[in-house]
């Protein structure tokens, strides 16, 4: 897989390709079912990857649920009554207009095919626009353009929907002539845009052709909306209040790519915050500011963060107003979290379709209304990519040597500390093993006695481990150990008995939260 890089982003050169191999080599992220050639844009999280994902998720939960007395969490099913997706509008509107190159039959989102005015050479076989690499044809044929690769034109039978009419037809025609296929280089040979629904379908029931079609949820939000009444009744929540959820979502993306940036299976961390309609704008601003503060508190460089307001053509069908938090990835500025004013759209639609009242009764004002919703919707896997891309660093040591360091905030580090004996004699391994086992339980600790101390430090630098504790000759006399800081390389001495408190304090100090 090759991924494009933006040379002005301040990241190390060719970072995305480096990250792909680094993440595999160090056990962060593997291609799903790799021994069978993988499956279209699905990834598995290895031992370090799941730790990093857990840290992000736990910090998010702490920030969104534990810090508020009016926000609670739920965990809804991935499979829901299919009527949910009709009511939410996803069956009708959750689709991407795609165009197909008549020459090589690859399909792209319209906005991903740049308009070319010059006579550039085609980038045959390279990444698709927006940096999305066309997946190699996976056994099982899960890649979205697999039908096109086989030469078949899009048809309703293979998942295509109805032709989408574009308003500015003339302008679109001339744009179409100027569009050049990023794969085969053919210019101006495009089909009209067609809509493809992005939801995965499956069957519920034993006999496939008699079973009901159900969908794998494309967002976690709907599980919250349909539980609005349950949560409100069971916990007697008063507006404003929120419901948070973290979980898997699935989208049959047409142009997945850029490693884990856009995948077909991913995780979201979503909050739906229910408010009175007249206070929605104020709450929107509050959540917008608060979410940016939280992202910064993870240690992400502020100069690589910005808001992007959705224009009228960008906002989703359920939204009145939307801002993205974007990160400057090596392949450009892109969203990894959205803050949306969903109005009373979702609760209103579910009320209409289910026939169940989803109103709120404000006793003090003796008033009944369908609440507005301010949503904060973050991609967990995409936030993980932000953390990795921002933390990966190569330090030039001179003489052609370099130190790879993952400068993750200690609060995010998969391994929080490593414990080494300086040498494997004089009782040092025994003291170090005992220290490691005492620290385990509250912290994720690695014990390593293999190889030179320099090599052991390098291994931990790559894993992003912020602290390395070394038992040395002095430990035998005064019961202190060295603590080496990954970023400053400064080594200080702490008492053996105080090492746990030292680490916990340093980690807590690196996760101040949003307040
Ligand atoms: N409930 C609102 C919602 O789902 P969205 O903008 O479609 O809004 C929210 O998605 C976040 O989910 C995005 O900012 C992104 O981080 C993540 N996300 C969406 N599609 C994704 C995909 N195919 N792969 C990885 N993350 C994705």
Q: Is the CB of 251 under 6 A from ligand 1?
A: yes
Distance CA 149, CA 216 (A): 25
Catalogue the E-assigned strands of 116-169.
Answer: 160-163
Nearest CA to ligand 1 atom 8: 377
Ligand 1, residues 53, 266, 287, 323: which to mutate, most atoms within 8 A of Cβ? 266
Whether the Cβ atoms of residue 217 and residue 226 lie closer than 8 Å to each other: no
Residue 122 has phi, psi (to 5 degrees) of: -65, 150
Collapsing DSSP states into helix, strand and coil, what is residue 376? Answer: strand
118: Cβ contacts below 8 Å, ≥ 6 apart: none
State the distance between the two ends of the chain, measured CA to CA, in whole angstroms.
41
Residue 341 Cβ inside 6 Å of ligand 1? The answer reads no
| 337 ligand 1 Cβ < 6 A | yes
The rounded distance, in Å, linking the Cα atoms of 325 and 292 is: 7
Supply the residue whose CA is at minimum distance from atom 15 of ligand 1. Answer: 379
H or E stretch including 329? strand 321-329
Q: Whose CA is nearest to atom 6 of ligand 1?
A: 338
CA of 395 to the centre of ligand 1 (A): 33
Q: How far is the CA of 248 from the centre of ligand 1 (A)?
A: 11
Q: pLDDT digit of tens for each residue in the chain (515 aa)?
A: 445 555 567 899 999 999 999 999 999 999 999 999 999 899 999 999 999 999 999 999 999 999 999 999 999 999 999 999 999 999 877 667 778 788 776 778 787 787 765 543 333 332 222 222 222 222 222 222 222 222 222 222 222 222 333 344 556 666 677 888 887 888 888 888 877 788 999 999 877 666 788 999 999 999 999 999 999 999 988 999 999 999 999 999 877 889 999 999 999 999 999 999 999 999 999 999 999 999 999 999 999 999 999 987 777 777 889 999 999 999 999 999 999 999 999 999 999 999 999 999 999 999 999 999 999 999 999 999 999 999 999 999 899 899 999 999 999 999 999 999 999 999 999 999 999 999 998 899 999 999 999 999 999 999 999 999 999 999 999 999 999 999 999 999 999 999 999 999 999 999 866 45
Nearest Cα neighbor of 269 from 68, 64, 410 is 64
Rounded Cα distance, 457 and 446, in Å: 12
Distances (CA, A) of 506 to 483, 485, 514: 12, 11, 18
Tell whether ligand 1 has an atom less than 6 A from the beta carbon of residue 265.
Answer: no
> Residue 11 and residue 392: Cα distance in Å, rounded?
8
Chain-centroid distance, C-alpha 510: 21
Q: Which residues of 18-47 are buried (b: 16+ CB within 10 A; e: fewer)?
A: bbbebbeebbbbebbeeeeebbbbbbebbe
Residue nearest to atom 2 of ligand 1 (CA): 377
Q: With a 6 A CB cut-off, is 409 part of the ligand 1 pocket?
A: no
Ligand 1 test: best mutation among 109, 224, 336, 379, most atoms within 8 Å of CB? 379
Is the C-beta atom of 270 inside 6 A of ligand 1? yes
């Amino acid at each position: 897989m090759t991924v494009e890089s933006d040379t002005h982003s301040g990241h190390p050169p060719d970072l995305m390709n480096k990250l792909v191999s680094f993440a595999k080599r160090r056990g962060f992220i593997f291609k799903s079912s790799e021994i069978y050639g993988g499956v279209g844009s699905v990834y598995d999280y290895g031992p370090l990857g799941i730790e990093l994902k857990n840290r992000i998720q736990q910090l998010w939960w702490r920030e969104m649920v534990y810090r508020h007395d009016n926000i609670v969490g739920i965990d809804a099913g991935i499979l829901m009554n299919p009527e949910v997706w009709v009511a939410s509008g996803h069956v009708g509107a959750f689709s991407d207009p795609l165009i197909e190159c008549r020459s090589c039959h690859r399909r792209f989102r319209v906005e991903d095919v740049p308009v070319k005015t010059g006579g550039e050479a085609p980038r045959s076989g390279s990444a698709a626009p927006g940096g999305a690499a066309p997946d190699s044809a996976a056994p099982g044929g899960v890649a979205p353009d697999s039908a096109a690769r086989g030469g078949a034109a899009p048809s309703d039978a293979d998942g295509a929907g109805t032709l989408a009419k574009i308003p500015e037809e003339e302008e679109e025609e001339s744009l179409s002539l100027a569009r050049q296929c990023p794969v085969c280089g053919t210019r101006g040979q495009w089909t009209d845009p067609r809509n493809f629904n992005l939801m995965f379908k499956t069957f519920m029931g034993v006999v496939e052709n008699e079973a009901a079609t159900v969908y794998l949820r494309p967002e976690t939000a709907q599980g919250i909306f349909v539980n609005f009444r349950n949560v409100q009744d069971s916990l007697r929540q008063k507006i404003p209040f929120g419901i948070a959820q973290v979980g898997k979502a699935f989208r049959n993306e047409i142009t997945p790519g850029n490693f884990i940036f856009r995948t077909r299976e991913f995780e979201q961390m979503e909050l739906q915050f229910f408010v009175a309609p007249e206070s929605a704008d104020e709450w929107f601003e509050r959540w917008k500011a608060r979410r940016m503060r939280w992202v910064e508190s993870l240690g992400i460089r502020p100069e690589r963060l910005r808001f992007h307001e959705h224009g009228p053509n960008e906002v989703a069908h359920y939204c009145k107003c939307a801002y993205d938090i974007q990160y400057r990835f090596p392949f450009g500025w892109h969203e990894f979290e959205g803050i949306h004013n969903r109005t009373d759209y979702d609760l209103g639609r579910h009320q209409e379709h289910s026939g169940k009242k989803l109103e709120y009764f404000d006793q003090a004002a003796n008033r009944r209304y369908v609440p507005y919703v301010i949503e904060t919707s973050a991609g967990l896997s995409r936030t993980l990519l932000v953390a990795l891309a921002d933390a990966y660093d190569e330090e030039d040591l001179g003489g052609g040597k370099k130190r790879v360091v993952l400068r993750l905030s200690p609060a995010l580090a998969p391994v929080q500390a490593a414990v080494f004996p300086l040498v494997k004699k004089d009782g040092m391994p025994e003291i170090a093993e005992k220290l490691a086992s005492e620290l385990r339980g509250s912290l994720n600790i690695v014990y390593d006695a293999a190889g030179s101390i320099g090599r052991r430090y390098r291994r931990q630098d790559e894993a992003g481990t912020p602290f390395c504790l070394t038992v040395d000759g002095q430990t035998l006399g005064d019961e202190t150990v060295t603590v080496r800081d990954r970023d400053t390389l400064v080594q200080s001495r702490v008492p053996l008995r105080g090492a746990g408190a030292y680490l916990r304090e340093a980690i807590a100090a690196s996760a101040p939260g949003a307040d």
